[in-house]
Chains A and B, each alone.
Chain A
Amino acid sequence: MGLKKVNTVLLLIGLMNIIVSAQNRKVNIPEGMVLISGGVYTPLYGAKKDSITVKVEPFYMDKYPVTNAQFLEFVKKNPKWQRSKMKNLFADKNYLSNWKSDSELGEKVLPNSPVTNISWFAAKAYCKYYKKRLPSVAEWELVAKASAAKPDGSQDPNYIKQILEWYSRPTPEKIPQIGLRGKNYWGVFDLHGLVWEWTSDFFSALVTGESRGDSGLERNLFCGSGSVNASDFKNYPAFMRFAFRSSLKANYATNNLGFRCVRDIK
């Protein structure tokens, strides 16, 4: 017991050092990324006393979603991820279908807009090439719940309303550029309002498709929409994200789904 405590304390000190050093010596923060100092993520907003929480360790996250121009660069260096070479196992026929060709973006997309029509495999390969990885649901949700002013915006009705408004609208024909909206508390842009984003463990979302049945299946982790009441009505945006993720398969390339990467702190 005593050893464990000591270990925990040591670990905490170690982590704090990392954070402090990362913050003091900015050189350590990879380019285009920001430090997320970790925290506790409660699956779906609105904690109940018996709900499960996930501890999220500190990590770096891309400030912006990966753009068409960046992905084009990656494809040039890694020709096996060209559209024409793609196997259905790793991405369906919609893979990069909004690009003009293997090596040209064309008229339908802006270079500085998030890349979409990307499968999970392709997103994963991109992150790996740059020595990064896809964020977990917990990591993504932890960062995404921050409003401009607070690490947890889930108590701010205006913040929720804005997200919900975006979720309610169809995707525009041409997806807007990154960075036009303000950054959130962590300095991260566009988690809401541009495109959906892949997560490494998207398939562990607990909506089965018959959302009303989920309330009985996974009551502790996922209180289905049937049990939404006034006190946790703010779950709506999270419900929609979970529903979206659970409708996917890893080879789906969808026109409003992009990604960004994260990197562990070493």
Chain B
Amino acid sequence: MKTKIKIFNMLLTVFFFATLIGCSSESSDQVSGEEHAQLTQAPYVPQAIARKHATKVIIDLEVREVIKRLSDDVDYVFWTFGGDVPGSFMRVREGDLVEFHLHNHPLNKLPHNIDLHAVTGPGGGAASSFTAPGHTSIFSFTAKNPGLFVYHCATAPVGMHIANGMYGLILVEPKEGLPHVDREYYVMQGEFYTEGNYGEAGLQPFSMQKALTETPDYVVFNGSVGALVGDKSLKANVGESVRLYIGNGGPNLISSFHVIGEIFDLVYNEGGNNALQKNVQTTLVPAGGSSIVEFKVDVPGNFIMVDHSIFRAFNKGALGMISVNGADNKTIYSGKQKDELYNGNSSSANGVNPFTGELNKSNGKEEYISKYSTGDSKVDENLLKTAMAGADKSSSSGNLFNLGQTVYNMSCVACHQADGKGIANVFPPLTGSDWLKTHSKEEAIKNVIMGRTGELTVNNKVYNGIMPPQNIDDTQSAAVLTYVYKKFAGKDVSISADEVKKVRAGKK
């Protein structure tokens, strides 16, 4: 018996040691060494981690309350992690021991803290990092779960701290790393609630009321309107692979992130580390959540990033650009190959009248009378003549003006906006436009019927976009230009269909 027990004990001991050895060889991922994290400001991302083991990473992050540009002529007091909105991008490896130093600048008015969604523990670090102005808090956590995580301030009133810009992203790379891509960028959406309406100049205070009713005036990428357009567009070359780390700070809205003219080859849904979905058009980014998308850029041009809740893109600022350089590939995308005449009424039995929205019931014999003019196009010509003769403006030229407004609302408003102010750095304004004042009627007509590409300076700002030719007839072109001149450029100019016709003939 005794020997048996001895043998059994020995066996146990051996087993015990074997287990120990097994364990220690398994945990080759012990934390060794120490380094300071490199932080970057959007749209840049720190370099991929080459390290093959876990280490102690020290992150220093400073909270600053700063006055910065929200849009042209509009300033805002941003509360920031690292001086900018969104906050600094942090990159660590799964298993790393992160020692976090949160510094609250002495000139700040308020206490702040940080809740990192990458933290496993109550509050995500919020209570441990609660810091008075002029103080620093230190706490540590192990980055257990790989993925792309949002961090934000969680000091009361939490909503206001987030609404003022206190959010950013921390990437916990999986142990095996992420596949190589040619370019990585950091894009984070957030909305701003200001006392003044969109575009109202000056230092705009936070509107608690608008935040509560979730009606922001600004929905932007990377902290301001136009932060990712023009010179500040994201850059890539044809043939390169691009990875976007997308975050959404909220505080309220969910983003429907979309890149116009691109399909995401791969999406890491909600920022998890498993790429589950291929060939995605639009990815949802929850408030306080993220997404990683990858795509190869195949053709050159400007690719517009939007929140596809589309009024946010065109009216509130949620618009950025990826500028791709390189050679055309006409097989993938031809560009416009032909522009042919199309007479809806005669060629189609069921065309739609663009102004009434009614279906043409007959095969073109029945005439439709626009709600917005007093008769058919011939009557409009008469009206135009009357208008040109300088007759009573309130009636006849008023009609021309009204027709112009209708055309404007159909064809122009998406880019130039209802107020004619355009979109900062993307679409030039018509309101107060010096271009309209200094250029001839003919040139303005050309822009409408033939389109316009390339650099254009309006009110001392250089635009470089594409305005496509408008598929509207001579009368509609005349009317819309008359409307634009009177309503936005403050110029009492009437343009006739004949003038448009002449320009059209001249181009051939």
For the complex, what is the distance from the CA of A27 to the CA of B264, rounded to whole Å?
79
A243 and B111 contacting across the interface, CB-CB below 8 Å = yes
Residues of B near A228 (CB, < 8 A) are: 157, 159, 212
CB interface residues, B 92-135, toward A, < 8 Å:
106-111, 113, 122-123, 126-128, 130-135
Q: Does B77 make an interface contact (CB < 8 A)?
A: yes
The residue that B205 contacts in the complex, of A165, A207, A209, A240, with Cβ under 8 A, is A165
Known: A239-B156, A252-B135. A247 touches B108 (CB 8 A): no
Query: Which residue, of A169, A209, A239, has the highest number of chain B Cβ atoms within 10 A?
Result: A209
Which of A6-14, A54-62, A64-72, A211-219 contacts the other chain?
Answer: A211-219
For the complex, what is the distance from the CA of A228 to the CA of B134, rounded to whole Å?
29
The residue that B164 contacts in the complex, of A168, A233, A236, with Cβ under 8 A, is A168
Residues of A near B212 (CB, < 8 A) are: 228, 230, 233
Interface size class of A (residues with CB under 8 A): 35 or more
Q: Does B273 make an interface contact (CB < 8 A)?
A: no
Q: Does B472 make an interface contact (CB < 8 A)?
A: no
The residue that B132 contacts in the complex, of A171, A207, A248, with Cβ under 8 A, is A248
A94 and B111 contacting across the interface, CB-CB below 8 Å = no
Q: Does B66 make an interface contact (CB < 8 A)?
A: yes
Residues of A near B160 (CB, < 8 A) are: 236, 240
Interface size class of B (residues with CB under 8 A): 35 or more
B135 and A211 contacting across the interface, CB-CB below 8 Å = no
A254 and B132 contacting across the interface, CB-CB below 8 Å = yes
Residues of B near A33 (CB, < 8 A) are: none
CB interface residues, A 76-97, toward B, < 8 Å:
94
Closest Cβ of chain B to A121, distance in Å, is: 16
B157 and A240 contacting across the interface, CB-CB below 8 Å = yes
B156 and A243 contacting across the interface, CB-CB below 8 Å = yes
Residues of A near B135 (CB, < 8 A) are: 247, 252
Residues of B near A165 (CB, < 8 A) are: 205
Q: B residues near A, CB below 8 A? A: 64-67, 77, 106-111, 113, 122-123, 126-128, 130-135, 154-160, 164, 195, 205-206, 208-209, 212
Apart from A211-B157, A252-B134, what are 20 other A-B pairs with CB-CB below 8 Å?
Answer: A164-B205, A167-B110, A168-B206, A169-B65, A169-B77, A169-B109, A170-B65, A171-B109, A211-B126, A225-B158, A230-B212, A233-B209, A243-B111, A244-B132, A246-B130, A247-B111, A247-B132, A247-B135, A254-B106, A255-B133
Of all A-B residue pairs in the complex, the 7 with the closest CB atoms, nearest first, are A209-B130, A247-B111, A211-B156, A210-B127, A247-B132, A170-B65, A210-B123
Q: A residues near B, CB below 8 A? A: 94, 161, 164-165, 167-171, 173, 207-214, 224-226, 228, 230, 233, 235-236, 239-240, 242-244, 246-248, 252, 254-256
12 A-B pairs with CB atoms under 8 Å apart are: A168-B77, A168-B164, A169-B65, A170-B67, A171-B133, A210-B122, A211-B155, A228-B159, A240-B157, A242-B156, A247-B131, A247-B135
